[in-house]
Structure 1
Amino acid sequence: MHWAGNNRRKHCTGIFLLLIVFAGVAIAAAPAPSDVSQLLTRAENIKTSDYANFLKLLQELESRTSELSEPQKWQLRFMEGWQATYSGQDEKAKLLLEAVAKQAPDSSLRTRATATLINVLGVGHHYEEAFEYLDRALDNLPQVTDKQARFPLLGEASQLLVEAGQYDLATGYANQIVTEFPTGRYGCIGRMLKLHAELRGGQTNISNDVFQDAINRCLEVKEKLAADTIRRDMAILAMQQNKLDDALSLLQVNYQEVKGLDYPDLTSEYNVLLAQTYWKKDNIALAQKYAMTTVDIASKSDLIEPLITAYQLLYQIERQYGNLRDALAYHEKYVAADKEHLDDIREKALAYQIVKQEVEAKKIELGTLNKQNQILQLQQALDRKAVVTSRLYIALLLTVLASIAFWLYRLKRSQLRFMRLARRDGLTGIFNRQHFVEEAEQILRYVAKSLRGACLILIDLDHFKDINDTHGHVVGDAVLKRAVAVCQCHLNSCDVFGRLGGEEFGILLPECTVIQALERAERIRLSIQQVDDSEDVPLTASFGIAATAHYGYDLRRLLVAADSALYRAKNDGRNRVVVSMDDHAPRTAPSTGNSKHADTSPYANSTE
């Protein structure tokens, strides 16, 4: 397989799309034929294995278009679009491939052009248009008998649906590839897509034997990139199951091979997984080393997901070292990258839902037109039938109209439900991080105009990792829900409450003084500590408070100050409330790094 394409393109949407779109057959070097049909075949065969000669053949074919038949001209136009895709000329590629996908007489060629076009649209973040082409192509797929043409479309469908969060559908299309190609290169890629979709969909019961079988099949056809991608997912699952040594061994053994592939996406992912594993094993130095390597690779190649994790790790490492200035810098980069990533995910999910709703609406519209035709026929029959019969037809008409109204109502309700889910945390039902930030900033702007105060409380559940490790994630989820329910008992209707990530929560209290915030936080702390749970899982929480009276109305400053106070509460023994004050307030201990505001409140007194 020839990998030069990933250096020519502006930005590839993933390892899977690279494998799918640039699929080709390596052909041994041979003199270029002179017949145009042989030139077309030769160019098709070497386009990924010998790109330089492919360009020469393409130029010769373009100079001899008068000798080409109509189907051959469409084949040449597809190769021109493929070459534009390969070299990163997305606008040119889009125009050429759209023409082939819509007008080419051969269904196999239209399918291949559509698959490549979907990739181009995904690269350009035109997600809604990509899903529209995908939906139409999948509707026509049963009529395509050429399995070689079906493969790239099924692969694009699986990958694009994973990115939109539709994991079951993605698994289904990957299974079709495995069914149609039980062995060989396409079978290897199909298994890789299937395992990835299952893992992203939350399946944790995938056995190592299944992973290893897929790896072996890929190695048999010399697909090292696919094999190492499967190993990456295997390591992720091992980390999720807390098998850190297994994950570390798998990553270390294959690290040099992955570096040798010279593919930044996979290299950065291996580095960030190593950083995470070493962090969990308390090897801070190696965790920092691999996180920095990830930042170096990912920032040059615009790889957002590994960059987010690396920034978050570096923030935690610098904060643990007490380098609060560097920690703040990494935290700001993490927040910016995470917001960009969340916006992109939301854009993909929304594009999928919009296209899905439009398809449903078109089906209903078509059904409505059919019903209207039937109604017209019934109206003509009314002139020839008795009054009693006409009443039956009118009743049928009313039933049809009621059915249409019912389906339109269901469509509207599903759209509203989707918008509501986008703002809520899936486990606890409270605001997610993005919506908490939006609501909090809006409240702060309001209280700033009216010169009123507000306080921000950050809450972190103590020893939550130990609860997960000891009792399992099901109990851990129940503990999170329990803590949220306790907090909600002490909140007013105007307070903003959200889950910021993991076991950390935030509460913005508008029109609230520091003393009032301290009292509210202490009541919540005591309630969390005193709750009696059937699982007999003891639970405490640490609190950090920052007030606009000391830090102004900028949410970022309030978050940093409250986080410093929370960090102080953790260091002082947990299960306590700490308020961050300004430079003129009394301090109980010397400050370190850049944090000058972490002062113990009157309530920072509870036992561990």
Structure 2
Amino acid sequence: MFRCGNVRRTFLYGGVLLPLFLVAAAFAQSPSVDRAEQLLGQARAVETSDVARFSAILQQLNSGSIPLSHEQQLRLRYLNAFQLAYKGDNKDAVLLLDSVIDESSNPTLRLRALSTEVNVLGLSFRYEEAFSKLNQLLDLLPQVTDKPTRLQAMGVSSLLYTEAGQYDLAANSADQMLYEGSTPGDTCRANYVKLFVLHKSGKFSTLDPEVRQAVGICVRAKEPLFANLIRSFIADYEIRHGQFKEAITLLHANARTVRNTHYPRLISEFNEVLARAYWGSGDATRAQEAALDAVSSAIKNEYTEPLALAYKLLYQIEKQQGNFAAALDYHEKYMAADKGYLNSLSTKALAYQTVKQQVLAKKLQVAALNKENRILQLQQALSKKDVEAGRLWIILLLSVLAFIAFLTYRIKRSQLKFMRLARRDGLTGIYNRQHFVTEAERQLQYCRKSTRDACLVLIDLDHFKVVNDTFGHSTGDRVLKRAVEACQAHLRSTDIFGRLGGEEFGILLPECSLEQVVGRVEQLRLAIASVAERDTLDVSVSGSFGVSATEQSGYDLRELLIHADDALYQAKNTGRNRAVVFDASKGDSHEEMRKSRAGAPVVDIADQV
């Protein structure tokens, strides 16, 4: 697999953003003016390519033996901040960067410091501050003519917008990078940014000839990091379209260049994609090896999408092999990593909207203060002769103030609306996975304190991939929405309903005992089965159900999910369109409940320790 070797931690915002420090080094220019200028330029040029040389130059500059002008001292301060951030001391790095931004009169240095600080703030999960600094960066960008610094700032903007889901803004910044770039390296990095936007927005396709061309450009520009990041997008696309052998071939052909980057995020991502390719091809042993390598090469104490997917695959492999203790351990790790990653995504999107609204509100407040000052000036300047005309002006200005107040109110409402939307699944309108987990844990805590029963139901629509492949995604989306509507007709206001991903849903039923849940689940099963008939769809719709209860599994959500997932696995393996209830009091799974009506589908109860 892909090993990390002697890993140097290179910073990427949120685990996936542009390697800004690498880009900064590639863009560096170092004119020879005097000894201090020469050393500063050399340090800038080897920031990431030769860390030992970079540290030695900084030590020489910081010794005080070489005279520095005030502006050169600020440049040295920026390089010291860069070194602190490189080592992971983000707090002190931000303090130094702020001082450079505040004291320097050089817009190029200030823009460079802002770009680096946005990156560091993102790594520190201080997303609101990151987007606030991004606004300052965009205000300063038109004043800077230095091309490498401009491209670095555009890269920050594009990829930060992508992480917040603002794909149009991200694409505009990427196109501007392509327009302004002049060297092969510029074009390589700009192409990576553009393809990253397409990858995140779901529009990436290997059928686009520009994709293969982008890899070739990066290879010729001697940019293996960006070439392999693009290759990881290609392999992911091939896996999602069933081309497992092609993905394995591509990944193995570039294994050596990936290892030689010594870049942990890229190595972890390549291993995770390779694990999925092996799993899709039926090679569970190699899939497990690659997934373990993805975990071991990931940045410690940092939640990323590849880490979450690697844990999920390890859970599936152990479960398939019957190693339930190991499967439970990996499932817990997957839940923690997935929740951390989703929290990061939601926080980024919310931070972007919050800062956007704050900036707009601040502009309105400034406008309101200007109007108030104008009113005071008019009142003081009015003579008796102009009182009547002045009153008209005051009325007009007060009307403007009222309009500004109304706009401020609307902005506040839009902020609250966005926060509500951040909790909902965009297609079905029910809770998304992250908010379902949050609400379910809160409700289970209440049930524990009040000694009330609760049941968890996992639903998986049967053969849903066939529906998408045969009738198209529009029909598949319609089936999902109709199935949700059918279930909602049988749920109480206290029940918690969420989409966990794809065609899988979860329902927490508080104050519902193991005896009561059987009848309720049968109602839901029949409701889903009637979707096609009620909606005149030319497709059969049914659902498999896995049920766990606090009576057997306790009040820990992770334990309930594991047991419900085991029950769902039994339902899928014993014919689908049925429900299986987990019962920890018995040692094996058996059928316990059948409908008395002739021809009615079986409803199973799974008993699994």
TM-score normalized with structure 1 length: 0.89
Aligned partner of 2:576 in structure 1 is: 574
Aligned partner of 1:293 in structure 2 is: 293
Q: Are 2:61 and 1:69 aligned?
A: no
Aligned partner of 1:432 in structure 2 is: 432
Greater displacement, 217-226 / 439-448: 439-448
Q: 1:347 Cα shift?
A: 2.6
Q: 1:48 to 1:306 in 2, by over 3 A?
A: closer
Deviation sequence 1:549-569 (CA, Å, 0-9, x none): 333333333322222222211
Q: 1:109 Cα shift?
A: 1.2
Q: Are 2:594 and 1:602 aligned?
A: yes
Q: 1:332 Cα shift?
A: 0.9
Q: Are 2:536 and 1:551 aligned?
A: no
Q: 1:544 to 1:371 in 2, by over 3 A?
A: same
Q: Secondary structure, in 3 states, of the residue corresponding to 2:522?
A: helix
Q: 1:380 Cα shift?
A: 4.2
Q: 1:422 to 1:50 in 2, by over 3 A?
A: closer
Report how many residues are paired.
594
Alignment of 1:207-226 (within 5 A): 207-226=207-226
Q: Secondary structure, in 3 states, of the residue corresponding to 2:509?
A: strand
How much is the aligned-residue C-alpha RMSD, in angstroms? 3.0
Q: Is the 8 A contact 2:5 2:259 kept in 1?
A: no
| Structure 2 Cα separation of the partners of residues 581 and 86 of structure 1 | 52
Q: 1:458 Cα shift?
A: 1.7
Greater displacement, 167-176 / 277-286: 277-286
Q: 1:51 to 1:320 in 2, by over 3 A?
A: closer
| Structure 2 Cα separation of the partners of residues 372 and 581 of structure 1 | 70
Q: 1:212 Cα shift?
A: 1.3
Deviation sequence 1:33-70 (CA, Å, 0-9, x none): 97333333344344444443443333333344773333
Aligned partner of 2:563 in structure 1 is: 561
Alignment of 1:491-570 (within 5 A): 491-531=491-531, 532=533, 533-570=535-572
| Structure 2 Cα separation of the partners of residues 162 and 478 of structure 1 | 28
Deviation sequence 1:267-315 (CA, Å, 0-9, x none): 1111111222232333333322322222222265846321110111121
| Structure 2 Cα separation of the partners of residues 515 and 496 of structure 1 | 19
Aligned partner of 1:277 in structure 2 is: 277
Q: 1:331 Cα shift?
A: 0.9
Q: 1:63 to 1:235 in 2, by over 3 A?
A: same
Q: 1:603 to 1:193 in 2, by over 3 A?
A: farther
Q: 1:205 Cα shift?
A: 5.3
Q: Are 2:337 and 1:337 aligned?
A: yes
Alignment of 1:66-145 (within 5 A): 67-145=67-145
| Structure 2 Cα separation of the partners of residues 108 and 205 of structure 1 | 37
Q: For structure 1, which runs of at least 5 residues remain unmatched after alignment?
A: 585-589, 592-596
Q: 1:18 Cα shift?
A: 2.6
Aligned partner of 1:467 in structure 2 is: 467
| Structure 2 Cα separation of the partners of residues 572 and 193 of structure 1 | 47
Aligned partner of 1:405 in structure 2 is: 405
Aligned partner of 2:606 in structure 1 is: none
Aligned partner of 1:167 in structure 2 is: 167
| Structure 1 Cα separation of the partners of residues 20 and 444 of structure 2 | 48
Counterpart residue type for residue 18 of structure 1: P
Alignment of 1:138-157 (within 5 A): 138-157=138-157
| Structure 2 Cα separation of the partners of residues 364 and 314 of structure 1 | 52
Deviation sequence 1:492-545 (CA, Å, 0-9, x none): 222221112221212222232333321121122122212324441111111122
Q: Secondary structure, in 3 states, of the residue corresponding to 1:545?
A: strand
Counterpart residue type for residue 289 of structure 1: E
Q: 1:375 to 1:267 in 2, by over 3 A?
A: same
Deviation sequence 1:317-358 (CA, Å, 0-9, x none): 222222222221111111111112122223322322222222
| Structure 2 Cα separation of the partners of residues 466 and 272 of structure 1 | 26
Q: 1:599 to 1:26 in 2, by over 3 A?
A: same
Q: Is the 8 A contact 2:155 2:193 kept in 1?
A: yes
Q: Secondary structure, in 3 states, of the residue corresponding to 1:507?
A: strand
Q: For structure 2, which runs of at least 5 residues remain unmatched after alignment?
A: 604-609
| Structure 1 Cα separation of the partners of residues 417 and 396 of structure 2 | 32
| Structure 1 Cα separation of the partners of residues 565 and 321 of structure 2 | 15
| Structure 1 Cα separation of the partners of residues 253 and 399 of structure 2 | 67
Q: 1:433 Cα shift?
A: 2.1
Q: Matched residues, percent identical?
A: 48
Q: Is the 8 A contact 1:581 1:598 kept in 2?
A: no
Q: 1:366 to 1:76 in 2, by over 3 A?
A: same
Q: Is the 8 A contact 1:40 1:76 kept in 2?
A: yes
Q: Is the 8 A contact 1:22 1:48 kept in 2?
A: no
| Structure 2 Cα separation of the partners of residues 552 and 62 of structure 1 | 60
Deviation sequence 1:368-411 (CA, Å, 0-9, x none): 12222332344345435556534432431232122112111111
| Structure 1 Cα separation of the partners of residues 457 and 43 of structure 2 | 64
Q: 1:551 to 1:598 in 2, by over 3 A?
A: farther
Q: 1:34 to 1:380 in 2, by over 3 A?
A: closer
Q: Secondary structure, in 3 states, of the residue corresponding to 2:165?
A: coil
Q: 1:372 to 1:337 in 2, by over 3 A?
A: same
Greater displacement, 475-484 / 79-88: 79-88
| Structure 1 Cα separation of the partners of residues 186 and 544 of structure 2 | 52
Q: 1:471 to 1:321 in 2, by over 3 A?
A: farther
Q: 1:134 to 1:452 in 2, by over 3 A?
A: closer
Q: 1:598 Cα shift?
A: 6.1
Q: 1:4 to 1:39 in 2, by over 3 A?
A: farther
| Structure 2 Cα separation of the partners of residues 398 and 167 of structure 1 | 39
Q: 1:506 to 1:184 in 2, by over 3 A?
A: same
Counterpart residue type for residue 103 of structure 1: E
| Structure 2 Cα separation of the partners of residues 56 and 97 of structure 1 | 21
Greater displacement, 245-254 / 121-130: 245-254
Q: Is the 8 A contact 2:12 2:19 kept in 1?
A: no
Aligned partner of 1:587 in structure 2 is: none
Q: Are 2:490 and 1:487 aligned?
A: no
Counterpart residue type for residue 256 of structure 1: R
| Structure 2 Cα separation of the partners of residues 366 and 206 of structure 1 | 49
Q: 1:17 to 1:102 in 2, by over 3 A?
A: farther
Aligned partner of 2:350 in structure 1 is: 350
Q: 1:393 to 1:245 in 2, by over 3 A?
A: same
Alignment of 1:309-348 (within 5 A): 309-348=309-348
Q: 1:192 Cα shift?
A: 0.3
Q: Secondary structure, in 3 states, of the residue corresponding to 1:67?
A: coil
- Structure scoring higher RCO (CA < 8 A, sep ≥ 6) equals 2
| Structure 1 Cα separation of the partners of residues 217 and 437 of structure 2 | 47
Counterpart residue type for residue 25 of structure 2: G
